[in-house]
Structure 1
Amino acid sequence: MKFGVSYSTPYQGVDPDKIVAFARNAEECGFESLYLPEHIVLYPGAAVGPYELPPTLPYLDPLDCLSFVAAATERILLGTGVLLLPYHHPVILAKRLATVDVLSKGRMRLLTTGLGALPGEARAVGVEYATRGRRADEAIDVLRLLWAGGEDGVSFAGEFFSFENLVSFPKPHQAVQLPVHIGGSSRAAARRAGRRGDGYFPGGALDARERAVQWELARSSAAEVGRDPDALEYTRMGSIDMPVERVEELAAQGVTRIVVSTAATEPEEQREELTAFAKRFGLPQ
Protein backbone atom coordinates (compact mmCIF):
# COMPACT_ATOMS: atom_id res chain seq x y z
CA MET A 1 0.00 0.00 0.00
CA LYS A 2 1.19 3.52 -0.83
CA PHE A 3 0.29 6.49 1.33
CA GLY A 4 -0.14 10.10 0.23
CA VAL A 5 -1.26 13.32 1.91
CA SER A 6 -3.41 16.16 0.68
CA TYR A 7 -2.93 19.82 1.50
CA SER A 8 -6.07 21.94 1.18
CA THR A 9 -5.11 25.59 0.83
CA PRO A 10 -8.71 26.79 1.38
CA TYR A 11 -8.67 25.36 4.90
CA GLN A 12 -4.99 25.04 5.79
CA GLY A 13 -3.93 28.38 4.36
CA VAL A 14 -1.69 29.81 1.67
CA ASP A 15 1.28 30.76 3.83
CA PRO A 16 4.28 29.61 1.74
CA ASP A 17 6.35 28.74 4.81
CA LYS A 18 3.59 26.50 6.18
CA ILE A 19 3.13 24.79 2.81
CA VAL A 20 6.85 24.03 2.61
CA ALA A 21 6.91 22.83 6.21
CA PHE A 22 3.98 20.49 5.55
CA ALA A 23 5.58 19.04 2.42
CA ARG A 24 8.94 18.54 4.12
CA ASN A 25 7.30 16.94 7.15
CA ALA A 26 5.36 14.56 4.90
CA GLU A 27 8.51 13.67 2.99
CA GLU A 28 10.54 13.09 6.14
CA CYS A 29 7.76 10.89 7.57
CA GLY A 30 7.93 8.65 4.49
CA PHE A 31 4.74 9.59 2.66
CA GLU A 32 4.86 8.81 -1.04
CA SER A 33 2.98 11.82 -2.41
CA LEU A 34 1.42 15.24 -1.87
CA TYR A 35 -1.89 16.25 -3.50
CA LEU A 36 -3.43 19.68 -4.04
CA PRO A 37 -7.00 20.52 -5.16
CA GLU A 38 -8.17 23.06 -7.75
CA HIS A 39 -10.89 25.61 -8.28
CA ILE A 40 -10.15 28.27 -10.87
CA VAL A 41 -12.86 30.66 -9.69
CA LEU A 42 -15.73 30.66 -7.23
CA TYR A 43 -18.81 32.86 -6.99
CA PRO A 44 -21.65 33.56 -4.54
CA GLY A 45 -24.00 30.59 -4.41
CA ALA A 46 -21.51 28.06 -5.80
CA ALA A 47 -22.35 24.70 -4.30
CA VAL A 48 -21.35 21.07 -4.64
CA GLY A 49 -24.48 19.12 -3.81
CA PRO A 50 -25.86 20.51 -0.56
CA TYR A 51 -22.56 22.17 0.39
CA GLU A 52 -22.16 25.84 -0.51
CA LEU A 53 -18.59 27.00 -1.04
CA PRO A 54 -17.70 30.39 0.45
CA PRO A 55 -16.51 32.41 -2.54
CA THR A 56 -13.46 33.72 -0.68
CA LEU A 57 -11.88 30.28 -0.22
CA PRO A 58 -8.24 30.69 -1.33
CA TYR A 59 -7.41 28.02 -3.91
CA LEU A 60 -3.84 28.30 -5.14
CA ASP A 61 -3.08 27.14 -8.67
CA PRO A 62 -2.09 23.52 -7.98
CA LEU A 63 0.63 23.21 -10.60
CA ASP A 64 2.31 26.46 -9.64
CA CYS A 65 2.13 25.41 -6.00
CA LEU A 66 3.51 21.94 -6.73
CA SER A 67 6.42 23.49 -8.61
CA PHE A 68 7.11 25.60 -5.52
CA VAL A 69 6.92 22.49 -3.33
CA ALA A 70 9.22 20.57 -5.66
CA ALA A 71 11.94 23.16 -5.18
CA ALA A 72 11.79 22.65 -1.41
CA THR A 73 11.69 18.84 -1.37
CA GLU A 74 13.63 15.94 -2.86
CA ARG A 75 11.58 12.76 -3.10
CA ILE A 76 7.87 13.25 -2.56
CA LEU A 77 5.71 12.69 -5.64
CA LEU A 78 3.44 15.51 -6.82
CA GLY A 79 -0.28 15.08 -7.42
CA THR A 80 -3.52 16.94 -8.03
CA GLY A 81 -6.78 15.96 -6.45
CA VAL A 82 -8.31 17.00 -8.76
CA LEU A 83 -7.20 19.23 -11.63
CA LEU A 84 -10.24 20.40 -13.60
CA LEU A 85 -9.12 19.15 -16.99
CA PRO A 86 -11.93 20.57 -19.20
CA TYR A 87 -10.98 24.09 -18.13
CA HIS A 88 -7.35 23.81 -19.33
CA HIS A 89 -6.21 23.89 -22.94
CA PRO A 90 -4.27 20.63 -23.35
CA VAL A 91 -1.54 22.13 -25.57
CA ILE A 92 -0.63 24.57 -22.81
CA LEU A 93 -1.19 21.99 -20.09
CA ALA A 94 1.15 19.48 -21.74
CA LYS A 95 3.97 22.01 -21.54
CA ARG A 96 3.18 22.99 -17.93
CA LEU A 97 3.07 19.39 -16.70
CA ALA A 98 6.26 18.43 -18.53
CA THR A 99 7.96 21.51 -17.09
CA VAL A 100 7.07 20.58 -13.50
CA ASP A 101 8.15 17.00 -14.15
CA VAL A 102 11.52 18.05 -15.59
CA LEU A 103 12.25 20.55 -12.83
CA SER A 104 11.25 18.05 -10.14
CA LYS A 105 13.34 15.29 -11.78
CA GLY A 106 10.36 13.07 -12.54
CA ARG A 107 8.01 13.67 -9.62
CA MET A 108 4.92 15.04 -11.44
CA ARG A 109 3.50 11.53 -11.60
CA LEU A 110 0.14 11.66 -9.84
CA LEU A 111 -1.92 14.03 -11.95
CA THR A 112 -5.55 13.28 -11.12
CA THR A 113 -8.13 14.96 -13.33
CA GLY A 114 -11.81 15.69 -12.84
CA LEU A 115 -14.63 17.43 -14.68
CA GLY A 116 -15.72 20.02 -12.12
CA ALA A 117 -19.17 20.37 -10.57
CA LEU A 118 -19.78 24.14 -10.78
CA PRO A 119 -21.57 25.35 -13.94
CA GLY A 120 -20.51 28.93 -13.24
CA GLU A 121 -16.86 27.91 -13.24
CA ALA A 122 -17.29 26.37 -16.69
CA ARG A 123 -18.99 29.52 -17.99
CA ALA A 124 -16.18 31.66 -16.63
CA VAL A 125 -13.63 29.96 -18.87
CA GLY A 126 -15.91 29.65 -21.89
CA VAL A 127 -16.59 25.91 -21.64
CA GLU A 128 -20.04 24.47 -22.21
CA TYR A 129 -20.79 22.57 -19.01
CA ALA A 130 -22.66 19.73 -20.74
CA THR A 131 -19.69 18.91 -23.00
CA ARG A 132 -16.97 18.84 -20.36
CA GLY A 133 -16.78 15.03 -20.30
CA ARG A 134 -16.10 14.75 -24.03
CA ARG A 135 -13.71 17.66 -23.78
CA ALA A 136 -11.77 15.92 -21.01
CA ASP A 137 -11.51 12.71 -23.04
CA GLU A 138 -10.12 14.64 -25.97
CA ALA A 139 -7.71 16.57 -23.76
CA ILE A 140 -6.20 13.34 -22.41
CA ASP A 141 -5.61 12.15 -25.97
CA VAL A 142 -3.96 15.46 -26.87
CA LEU A 143 -1.67 15.42 -23.84
CA ARG A 144 -0.41 11.95 -24.62
CA LEU A 145 0.00 12.71 -28.31
CA LEU A 146 2.12 15.79 -27.61
CA TRP A 147 4.30 14.05 -25.00
CA ALA A 148 4.98 11.15 -27.36
CA GLY A 149 5.49 13.26 -30.48
CA GLY A 150 8.88 13.77 -32.10
CA GLU A 151 10.62 16.50 -34.00
CA ASP A 152 8.42 16.01 -37.07
CA GLY A 153 5.36 17.09 -35.10
CA VAL A 154 1.96 15.58 -34.45
CA SER A 155 -1.50 16.49 -35.68
CA PHE A 156 -4.97 16.21 -34.16
CA ALA A 157 -8.49 16.87 -35.41
CA GLY A 158 -11.22 16.60 -32.80
CA GLU A 159 -14.46 18.16 -31.68
CA PHE A 160 -12.77 20.68 -29.40
CA PHE A 161 -9.09 20.78 -30.35
CA SER A 162 -7.30 20.66 -33.68
CA PHE A 163 -3.76 21.39 -34.83
CA GLU A 164 -1.16 20.32 -37.36
CA ASN A 165 2.49 19.36 -36.96
CA LEU A 166 3.00 20.59 -33.42
CA VAL A 167 6.25 19.87 -31.62
CA SER A 168 6.25 20.06 -27.81
CA PHE A 169 9.53 19.90 -25.90
CA PRO A 170 10.85 19.28 -23.31
CA LYS A 171 9.44 15.84 -22.77
CA PRO A 172 8.65 14.49 -19.30
CA HIS A 173 11.73 13.51 -17.32
CA GLN A 174 13.05 10.17 -18.60
CA ALA A 175 9.55 9.12 -19.69
CA VAL A 176 7.43 9.01 -22.81
CA GLN A 177 4.22 9.77 -20.93
CA LEU A 178 3.01 11.11 -17.61
CA PRO A 179 0.34 9.05 -15.84
CA VAL A 180 -3.18 10.50 -15.93
CA HIS A 181 -5.45 9.35 -13.13
CA ILE A 182 -9.20 9.94 -13.22
CA GLY A 183 -11.10 11.38 -10.29
CA GLY A 184 -14.84 11.52 -9.82
CA SER A 185 -17.78 9.89 -8.11
CA SER A 186 -19.84 8.67 -11.06
CA ARG A 187 -19.98 5.58 -13.22
CA ALA A 188 -19.00 7.74 -16.18
CA ALA A 189 -15.79 8.63 -14.35
CA ALA A 190 -15.15 4.94 -13.65
CA ARG A 191 -15.57 4.12 -17.34
CA ARG A 192 -13.22 6.98 -18.27
CA ALA A 193 -10.64 5.62 -15.85
CA GLY A 194 -10.80 2.20 -17.48
CA ARG A 195 -10.74 3.44 -21.06
CA ARG A 196 -8.18 6.22 -20.73
CA GLY A 197 -6.78 6.48 -17.23
CA ASP A 198 -3.79 5.07 -15.44
CA GLY A 199 -5.80 4.90 -12.24
CA TYR A 200 -9.08 5.75 -10.54
CA PHE A 201 -9.47 8.07 -7.55
CA PRO A 202 -13.17 8.11 -6.64
CA GLY A 203 -14.51 10.77 -4.31
CA GLY A 204 -17.96 11.65 -3.08
CA ALA A 205 -20.17 10.13 -0.42
CA LEU A 206 -20.60 6.73 -2.05
CA ASP A 207 -21.68 3.63 -0.17
CA ALA A 208 -19.57 0.49 -0.21
CA ARG A 209 -21.69 -1.21 -2.85
CA GLU A 210 -21.48 1.69 -5.30
CA ARG A 211 -17.73 1.97 -4.80
CA ALA A 212 -17.35 -1.72 -5.59
CA VAL A 213 -19.54 -1.36 -8.69
CA GLN A 214 -17.49 1.58 -9.94
CA TRP A 215 -14.14 -0.14 -9.43
CA GLU A 216 -15.36 -3.23 -11.27
CA LEU A 217 -16.70 -0.95 -14.02
CA ALA A 218 -13.30 0.71 -14.36
CA ARG A 219 -11.63 -2.69 -14.68
CA SER A 220 -14.17 -4.09 -17.15
CA SER A 221 -14.01 -0.90 -19.24
CA ALA A 222 -10.25 -1.29 -19.49
CA ALA A 223 -10.60 -4.88 -20.64
CA GLU A 224 -13.20 -3.91 -23.25
CA VAL A 225 -10.71 -1.64 -25.04
CA GLY A 226 -7.78 -4.04 -24.77
CA ARG A 227 -6.10 -2.46 -21.75
CA ASP A 228 -4.79 -4.41 -18.76
CA PRO A 229 -7.18 -3.88 -15.83
CA ASP A 230 -4.51 -5.06 -13.39
CA ALA A 231 -2.36 -2.08 -14.43
CA LEU A 232 -4.91 0.40 -13.06
CA GLU A 233 -4.03 2.02 -9.75
CA TYR A 234 -6.85 2.47 -7.26
CA THR A 235 -6.58 5.45 -4.90
CA ARG A 236 -8.95 6.23 -2.03
CA MET A 237 -9.21 8.87 0.66
CA GLY A 238 -8.63 7.83 4.25
CA SER A 239 -8.49 9.42 7.68
CA ILE A 240 -5.32 10.36 9.54
CA ASP A 241 -6.45 8.24 12.52
CA MET A 242 -7.51 5.18 10.52
CA PRO A 243 -6.60 1.83 12.09
CA VAL A 244 -4.51 -0.88 10.48
CA GLU A 245 -7.63 -3.03 10.09
CA ARG A 246 -9.26 -0.42 7.84
CA VAL A 247 -6.23 -0.32 5.57
CA GLU A 248 -6.35 -4.11 5.32
CA GLU A 249 -10.03 -3.87 4.30
CA LEU A 250 -9.20 -1.36 1.57
CA ALA A 251 -6.31 -3.47 0.32
CA ALA A 252 -8.68 -6.43 0.01
CA GLN A 253 -10.90 -4.24 -2.19
CA GLY A 254 -7.99 -3.61 -4.57
CA VAL A 255 -6.93 -0.22 -3.26
CA THR A 256 -3.27 0.54 -3.99
CA ARG A 257 -2.93 4.04 -2.49
CA ILE A 258 -4.57 5.87 0.43
CA VAL A 259 -4.50 9.66 0.71
CA VAL A 260 -5.04 11.27 4.10
CA SER A 261 -5.15 14.83 5.40
CA THR A 262 -4.39 16.38 8.77
CA ALA A 263 -6.94 18.11 10.94
CA ALA A 264 -4.28 20.45 12.30
CA THR A 265 -3.32 23.71 10.61
CA GLU A 266 -0.07 24.49 12.44
CA PRO A 267 3.19 22.81 11.34
CA GLU A 268 4.11 21.28 14.70
CA GLU A 269 0.67 19.74 15.20
CA GLN A 270 0.61 18.57 11.59
CA ARG A 271 3.98 16.91 12.08
CA GLU A 272 2.69 15.09 15.16
CA GLU A 273 -0.27 13.70 13.21
CA LEU A 274 1.87 12.70 10.24
CA THR A 275 4.50 11.11 12.47
CA ALA A 276 1.93 9.08 14.40
CA PHE A 277 0.42 7.80 11.14
CA ALA A 278 3.85 6.96 9.73
CA LYS A 279 4.82 4.98 12.82
CA ARG A 280 1.49 3.10 12.84
CA PHE A 281 2.03 1.89 9.28
CA GLY A 282 5.81 1.62 9.24
CA LEU A 283 6.44 4.19 6.53
CA PRO A 284 10.09 4.35 5.44
CA GLN A 285 11.91 7.24 7.08
Structure 2
Amino acid sequence: MKFAISYSTAHHGSDPDQIIAYAQHAEACGFEAIYFPEHIALYPGASVGPMEFPPDLAIADPLDCLAFVASATDRILLGTGVLLLPYHHPVVLAKRLATIDVLSKGRMRLLTIGLGSLPGEAQATGVDFKTRGRRADEAIEVLRLLWAGDEKGVSYKGDFFSFDNLCVYPKPLGDLPIHIGGSSNPAARRAGRYGNGYFPGGMLTPAIREAQLDLARSTALEAGRDPDALEYTRWGSIDMPDQRVHSYAAQGVTRIVVSSSATEIDDQRAEMSAFARRFHLLD
Protein backbone atom coordinates (compact mmCIF):
# COMPACT_ATOMS: atom_id res chain seq x y z
CA MET A 1 0.00 0.00 0.00
CA LYS A 2 1.20 3.51 -0.87
CA PHE A 3 0.27 6.51 1.24
CA ALA A 4 -0.04 10.10 0.03
CA ILE A 5 -1.24 13.32 1.60
CA SER A 6 -3.41 16.20 0.38
CA TYR A 7 -3.17 19.90 1.11
CA SER A 8 -6.24 22.05 0.61
CA THR A 9 -5.68 25.79 0.70
CA ALA A 10 -9.42 26.14 1.43
CA HIS A 11 -8.90 24.33 4.74
CA HIS A 12 -5.22 24.75 5.53
CA GLY A 13 -4.72 28.27 4.16
CA SER A 14 -2.53 29.78 1.46
CA ASP A 15 0.39 30.90 3.58
CA PRO A 16 3.47 29.99 1.50
CA ASP A 17 5.63 29.15 4.50
CA GLN A 18 2.99 26.77 5.82
CA ILE A 19 2.55 25.06 2.45
CA ILE A 20 6.29 24.45 2.20
CA ALA A 21 6.57 23.29 5.82
CA TYR A 22 3.66 20.86 5.27
CA ALA A 23 5.18 19.44 2.09
CA GLN A 24 8.68 19.14 3.52
CA HIS A 25 7.42 17.34 6.62
CA ALA A 26 5.30 15.01 4.49
CA GLU A 27 8.41 14.16 2.49
CA ALA A 28 10.46 13.63 5.66
CA CYS A 29 7.74 11.30 7.01
CA GLY A 30 7.88 9.12 3.90
CA PHE A 31 4.59 10.01 2.21
CA GLU A 32 4.73 9.07 -1.46
CA ALA A 33 3.04 12.17 -2.85
CA ILE A 34 1.29 15.43 -2.10
CA TYR A 35 -2.00 16.35 -3.80
CA PHE A 36 -3.73 19.69 -4.35
CA PRO A 37 -7.42 20.08 -5.36
CA GLU A 38 -8.93 22.54 -7.81
CA HIS A 39 -11.88 24.86 -8.21
CA ILE A 40 -11.39 27.60 -10.77
CA ALA A 41 -14.32 29.83 -9.82
CA LEU A 42 -17.12 29.79 -7.24
CA TYR A 43 -20.29 31.82 -6.91
CA PRO A 44 -23.09 32.36 -4.37
CA GLY A 45 -25.19 29.21 -4.08
CA ALA A 46 -22.60 26.86 -5.59
CA SER A 47 -23.22 23.43 -4.12
CA VAL A 48 -22.82 19.71 -4.65
CA GLY A 49 -25.73 17.91 -3.04
CA PRO A 50 -26.14 19.24 0.50
CA MET A 51 -22.64 20.77 0.58
CA GLU A 52 -22.53 24.46 -0.28
CA PHE A 53 -19.28 26.22 -1.10
CA PRO A 54 -18.73 29.65 0.46
CA PRO A 55 -18.15 31.98 -2.51
CA ASP A 56 -15.05 33.44 -0.86
CA LEU A 57 -13.41 30.03 -0.36
CA ALA A 58 -9.75 30.49 -1.28
CA ILE A 59 -8.63 27.55 -3.42
CA ALA A 60 -5.23 28.24 -4.94
CA ASP A 61 -4.29 26.93 -8.38
CA PRO A 62 -3.05 23.35 -7.90
CA LEU A 63 -0.39 23.38 -10.62
CA ASP A 64 1.14 26.59 -9.34
CA CYS A 65 1.14 25.09 -5.83
CA LEU A 66 2.81 21.91 -7.08
CA ALA A 67 5.53 23.87 -8.89
CA PHE A 68 6.07 25.89 -5.71
CA VAL A 69 6.29 22.73 -3.58
CA ALA A 70 8.60 21.01 -6.07
CA SER A 71 11.13 23.81 -5.70
CA ALA A 72 11.43 23.14 -1.96
CA THR A 73 11.37 19.31 -1.93
CA ASP A 74 13.45 16.54 -3.46
CA ARG A 75 11.54 13.26 -3.64
CA ILE A 76 7.83 13.62 -2.96
CA LEU A 77 5.65 13.01 -6.01
CA LEU A 78 3.17 15.62 -7.23
CA GLY A 79 -0.55 15.03 -7.71
CA THR A 80 -3.88 16.73 -8.30
CA GLY A 81 -7.05 15.59 -6.64
CA VAL A 82 -8.67 16.54 -8.92
CA LEU A 83 -7.77 18.83 -11.82
CA LEU A 84 -10.94 19.89 -13.65
CA LEU A 85 -9.79 18.89 -17.10
CA PRO A 86 -12.74 20.18 -19.21
CA TYR A 87 -11.99 23.72 -18.06
CA HIS A 88 -8.39 23.71 -19.33
CA HIS A 89 -7.28 23.89 -22.94
CA PRO A 90 -5.19 20.74 -23.41
CA VAL A 91 -2.52 22.40 -25.57
CA VAL A 92 -1.76 24.92 -22.83
CA LEU A 93 -2.10 22.25 -20.17
CA ALA A 94 0.33 19.92 -21.97
CA LYS A 95 2.97 22.62 -21.76
CA ARG A 96 2.29 23.40 -18.08
CA LEU A 97 2.34 19.79 -16.93
CA ALA A 98 5.45 18.91 -18.90
CA THR A 99 7.21 21.98 -17.52
CA ILE A 100 6.41 20.99 -13.94
CA ASP A 101 7.58 17.45 -14.63
CA VAL A 102 10.89 18.65 -16.09
CA LEU A 103 11.56 21.20 -13.35
CA SER A 104 10.70 18.66 -10.63
CA LYS A 105 12.95 16.04 -12.27
CA GLY A 106 10.10 13.72 -13.18
CA ARG A 107 7.83 13.99 -10.15
CA MET A 108 4.56 15.05 -11.86
CA ARG A 109 3.40 11.43 -11.61
CA LEU A 110 -0.07 11.57 -10.04
CA LEU A 111 -2.12 13.89 -12.19
CA THR A 112 -5.75 13.03 -11.44
CA ILE A 113 -8.47 14.60 -13.56
CA GLY A 114 -12.18 15.07 -12.98
CA LEU A 115 -15.11 16.72 -14.74
CA GLY A 116 -16.35 19.18 -12.13
CA SER A 117 -19.81 19.30 -10.54
CA LEU A 118 -20.67 23.01 -10.65
CA PRO A 119 -22.58 24.20 -13.74
CA GLY A 120 -21.66 27.82 -13.03
CA GLU A 121 -17.98 26.95 -13.08
CA ALA A 122 -18.38 25.40 -16.53
CA GLN A 123 -20.28 28.44 -17.76
CA ALA A 124 -17.60 30.77 -16.44
CA THR A 125 -14.96 28.98 -18.51
CA GLY A 126 -17.09 28.81 -21.65
CA VAL A 127 -17.76 25.08 -21.45
CA ASP A 128 -21.10 23.39 -22.06
CA PHE A 129 -21.68 21.50 -18.81
CA LYS A 130 -23.46 18.68 -20.64
CA THR A 131 -20.52 17.97 -22.95
CA ARG A 132 -17.71 18.14 -20.40
CA GLY A 133 -17.25 14.35 -20.39
CA ARG A 134 -16.63 14.15 -24.12
CA ARG A 135 -14.47 17.24 -23.91
CA ALA A 136 -12.35 15.59 -21.20
CA ASP A 137 -11.93 12.43 -23.30
CA GLU A 138 -10.63 14.49 -26.21
CA ALA A 139 -8.36 16.47 -23.90
CA ILE A 140 -6.75 13.26 -22.63
CA GLU A 141 -6.12 12.17 -26.21
CA VAL A 142 -4.64 15.57 -27.05
CA LEU A 143 -2.33 15.59 -24.03
CA ARG A 144 -0.89 12.19 -24.82
CA LEU A 145 -0.60 12.96 -28.52
CA LEU A 146 1.32 16.18 -27.89
CA TRP A 147 3.65 14.57 -25.35
CA ALA A 148 4.43 11.73 -27.76
CA GLY A 149 4.93 13.98 -30.81
CA ASP A 150 8.27 14.93 -32.30
CA GLU A 151 9.64 17.83 -34.31
CA LYS A 152 7.52 16.82 -37.32
CA GLY A 153 4.39 17.77 -35.37
CA VAL A 154 1.11 16.01 -34.69
CA SER A 155 -2.44 16.69 -35.85
CA TYR A 156 -5.83 16.18 -34.24
CA LYS A 157 -9.40 16.60 -35.43
CA GLY A 158 -12.10 16.40 -32.80
CA ASP A 159 -15.40 17.96 -31.86
CA PHE A 160 -13.73 20.32 -29.39
CA PHE A 161 -10.04 20.54 -30.36
CA SER A 162 -8.37 20.64 -33.75
CA PHE A 163 -4.85 21.47 -34.92
CA ASP A 164 -2.31 20.53 -37.59
CA ASN A 165 1.39 19.72 -37.33
CA LEU A 166 1.69 21.01 -33.78
CA CYS A 167 4.85 20.71 -31.68
CA VAL A 168 4.85 21.25 -27.92
CA TYR A 169 8.10 21.14 -25.96
CA PRO A 170 9.48 20.39 -23.40
CA LYS A 171 8.37 16.80 -23.08
CA PRO A 172 7.68 15.08 -19.76
CA LEU A 173 10.50 12.92 -18.46
CA GLY A 174 8.93 9.65 -19.55
CA ASP A 175 5.26 8.82 -19.72
CA LEU A 176 3.18 11.19 -17.62
CA PRO A 177 0.41 9.09 -16.03
CA ILE A 178 -3.19 10.29 -15.99
CA HIS A 179 -5.47 9.06 -13.23
CA ILE A 180 -9.23 9.42 -13.47
CA GLY A 181 -11.33 10.76 -10.62
CA GLY A 182 -15.08 10.51 -10.23
CA SER A 183 -17.68 8.37 -8.50
CA SER A 184 -19.86 7.37 -11.42
CA ASN A 185 -20.04 4.62 -14.01
CA PRO A 186 -18.88 6.98 -16.80
CA ALA A 187 -15.83 7.86 -14.67
CA ALA A 188 -15.08 4.17 -14.16
CA ARG A 189 -15.35 3.53 -17.89
CA ARG A 190 -13.11 6.55 -18.60
CA ALA A 191 -10.54 5.12 -16.20
CA GLY A 192 -10.62 1.82 -18.04
CA ARG A 193 -10.32 3.40 -21.49
CA TYR A 194 -7.77 6.10 -20.74
CA GLY A 195 -6.49 6.00 -17.18
CA ASN A 196 -3.35 4.79 -15.53
CA GLY A 197 -5.41 4.72 -12.36
CA TYR A 198 -8.86 5.22 -10.90
CA PHE A 199 -9.47 7.56 -7.94
CA PRO A 200 -13.16 7.61 -6.95
CA GLY A 201 -14.46 9.84 -4.20
CA GLY A 202 -17.98 10.24 -2.91
CA MET A 203 -20.01 8.43 -0.28
CA LEU A 204 -20.70 5.12 -2.01
CA THR A 205 -21.62 1.71 -0.67
CA PRO A 206 -18.99 -1.03 -0.83
CA ALA A 207 -21.09 -2.85 -3.43
CA ILE A 208 -21.18 0.20 -5.73
CA ARG A 209 -17.45 0.76 -5.32
CA GLU A 210 -16.74 -2.86 -6.18
CA ALA A 211 -19.02 -2.67 -9.24
CA GLN A 212 -17.32 0.50 -10.47
CA LEU A 213 -13.84 -0.97 -10.07
CA ASP A 214 -14.99 -4.07 -11.96
CA LEU A 215 -16.39 -1.79 -14.66
CA ALA A 216 -13.09 0.07 -14.96
CA ARG A 217 -11.17 -3.17 -15.29
CA SER A 218 -13.57 -4.76 -17.77
CA THR A 219 -13.54 -1.60 -19.88
CA ALA A 220 -9.74 -1.66 -19.88
CA LEU A 221 -9.83 -5.26 -21.09
CA GLU A 222 -12.30 -4.38 -23.86
CA ALA A 223 -10.00 -1.54 -24.93
CA GLY A 224 -7.04 -3.90 -25.20
CA ARG A 225 -5.38 -2.55 -22.07
CA ASP A 226 -4.06 -4.44 -19.05
CA PRO A 227 -6.69 -4.18 -16.28
CA ASP A 228 -4.15 -5.29 -13.67
CA ALA A 229 -1.99 -2.25 -14.46
CA LEU A 230 -4.77 0.10 -13.33
CA GLU A 231 -3.89 1.66 -9.97
CA TYR A 232 -6.73 2.15 -7.49
CA THR A 233 -6.56 5.17 -5.18
CA ARG A 234 -8.98 6.02 -2.39
CA TRP A 235 -9.40 8.77 0.18
CA GLY A 236 -8.72 7.93 3.81
CA SER A 237 -8.52 9.80 7.10
CA ILE A 238 -5.36 10.76 8.96
CA ASP A 239 -6.62 8.82 12.00
CA MET A 240 -7.83 5.74 10.12
CA PRO A 241 -7.25 2.47 11.99
CA ASP A 242 -5.12 -0.40 10.74
CA GLN A 243 -8.21 -2.51 10.10
CA ARG A 244 -9.53 -0.05 7.54
CA VAL A 245 -6.25 -0.06 5.65
CA HIS A 246 -6.37 -3.87 5.55
CA SER A 247 -9.97 -3.64 4.32
CA TYR A 248 -8.96 -1.24 1.57
CA ALA A 249 -6.12 -3.54 0.53
CA ALA A 250 -8.57 -6.44 0.30
CA GLN A 251 -10.71 -4.29 -2.04
CA GLY A 252 -7.76 -3.83 -4.39
CA VAL A 253 -6.77 -0.33 -3.25
CA THR A 254 -3.13 0.44 -4.07
CA ARG A 255 -2.88 4.00 -2.68
CA ILE A 256 -4.58 5.88 0.16
CA VAL A 257 -4.63 9.69 0.26
CA VAL A 258 -5.16 11.38 3.62
CA SER A 259 -5.12 14.97 4.79
CA SER A 260 -4.28 16.64 8.07
CA SER A 261 -7.37 17.76 9.94
CA ALA A 262 -5.41 20.48 11.76
CA THR A 263 -4.90 24.07 10.64
CA GLU A 264 -1.75 24.90 12.64
CA ILE A 265 1.54 23.62 11.26
CA ASP A 266 2.77 22.10 14.54
CA ASP A 267 -0.44 20.08 14.84
CA GLN A 268 -0.21 19.09 11.17
CA ARG A 269 3.32 17.83 11.69
CA ALA A 270 2.21 15.84 14.71
CA GLU A 271 -0.62 14.18 12.77
CA MET A 272 1.65 13.32 9.85
CA SER A 273 4.35 11.93 12.14
CA ALA A 274 1.86 9.78 14.05
CA PHE A 275 0.44 8.40 10.80
CA ALA A 276 3.93 7.67 9.46
CA ARG A 277 4.88 5.78 12.62
CA ARG A 278 1.62 3.81 12.65
CA PHE A 279 2.05 2.60 9.10
CA HIS A 280 5.87 2.44 9.05
CA LEU A 281 6.26 4.77 6.08
CA LEU A 282 10.02 5.01 6.51
CA ASP A 283 10.66 1.28 6.91
Give me the TM-score of the superposition, normalised by structure 2.
0.99
Deviation at residue 246 of structure 1 after TM alignment? 1.1
Q: Secondary structure at the match of 1:152?
A: coil
Corresponding residue for 2:185? Answer: 187
For 1:107 and 1:49, the matched residues in 2 are separated by: 35
Report deviation, 1:156: 0.2
Please give the alpha-carbon distance, in whole angstroms, between the structure 2 residues aligned to 1:87 and 1:49.
21
Question: Cα offset for 1:49?
Answer: 1.0
Q: 1:50: Cα distance to partner?
A: 1.2
Unaligned runs of 5+ in 2: none
Bigger shift: residues 23-32 or 236-245: 236-245
CA shift for structure 1 position 13 = 0.3
Give the structure 2 partner of residue 102 of structure 1. 102
Which one of 193, 209, 212 corresponds to residue 211 of structure 1?
209
Corresponding residue to 2:270 among 255, 269, 272: 272
State how far apart, in whole Å, the 2-side matches of 1:248 and 1:9 are.
Answer: 30
The total of aligned residue pairs comes to: 283
SS of structure 2 residue aligned to 1:93? helix
Specify the SS of the correspondent of 1:155: strand
* SS at 1:246 equivalent: helix
Match of 1:14 in 2: 14
Distance 1:214 1:149 in 2: 33
Task: State the alpha-carbon separation in 2 of the partners of residues 12 and 161 from structure 1.
Answer: 36
Find the partner of 2:229 among 206, 228, 231.
231
Provide the rounded CA distance (Å) in 2 between the counterparts of 1:220 and 1:15. Answer: 44
What CA distance in whole angstroms lies between the structure 1 residues aligned with 2:267 and 2:128?
43
* Residue aligning to 2:165: 165
Tell me the C-alpha RMSD between the 2 structures: 0.7
Please give the alpha-carbon distance, in whole angstroms, between the structure 1 residues aligned to 2:117 and 2:143: 23
Secondary structure of 1:4's counterpart equals strand
Equivalents in 2 of 1:226, 1:165: separation in Å?
A: 28
Residue 199 of structure 1 corresponds to which residue in structure 2? Answer: 197
Report 1:40-51 matches (<5 A). 40-51=40-51
CA shift at 1:270, angstroms?
0.5
**CA shift at 1:243, angstroms?**
1.4
User: Structure 2: how far apart are the matches of 1:151 and 1:53?
Assistant: 45
CA distance in 2 between counterparts of 1:9 and 1:224 reads: 39
Structure 2 residue matching 1:45: 3-state secondary structure: coil
Give structure 1 regions of 4+ aligned residues with deviation exceeding 6 angstroms. Answer: none
C-alpha distance after superposition, 1:76-108 (max 9, x if no partner) = 000000000000000000000000000000000
Question: Post-superposition shift, 1:242?
Answer: 1.0
The percent of aligned pairs where both chains have the same amino acid is: 71
Deviation of 1:277 after TM superposition, in Å, equals 0.5
Residue identity matched to 1:237: W
> Which residue type is aligned with residue 220 of structure 1?
S
CA deviation after TM superposition for structure 1 residue 245, in Å: 1.5
Residue 257 (structure 1) aligned with residue 261 (structure 2):
no
Structure 1 position 32, deviation (Å): 0.2
Q: 1:242 is matched with which residue: 240, 245, 248?
A: 240
CA deviation digits over 1:5-48, x for unaligned, max 9? 00011011000000000000100000000000000000000001
Number of the residue aligned with 1:118:
118
Q: 1:155 matched to which residue of 2?
A: 155
Q: 1:75, 1:58 → 2: CA distance?
A: 27
Query: Following the alignment from structure 1 to structure 2, what is the Cα–Cα distance between the partners of residues 218 and 249?
Result: 20
Shift of 1:284: 1.4
Once the two structures are TM-superposed, the CA of residue 249 in structure 1 deviates from its matched residue by 0.9
Alpha-carbon distance in structure 2 between the residues aligned to 1:59 and 1:277: 26
Q: Residue type of the partner of 1:266?
A: E
Shift, 1:57, TM fit: 0.4
Q: Please tell me the residue identity of whatever aligns with 1:261.
A: S
Q: Match of 2:134, SS?
A: helix
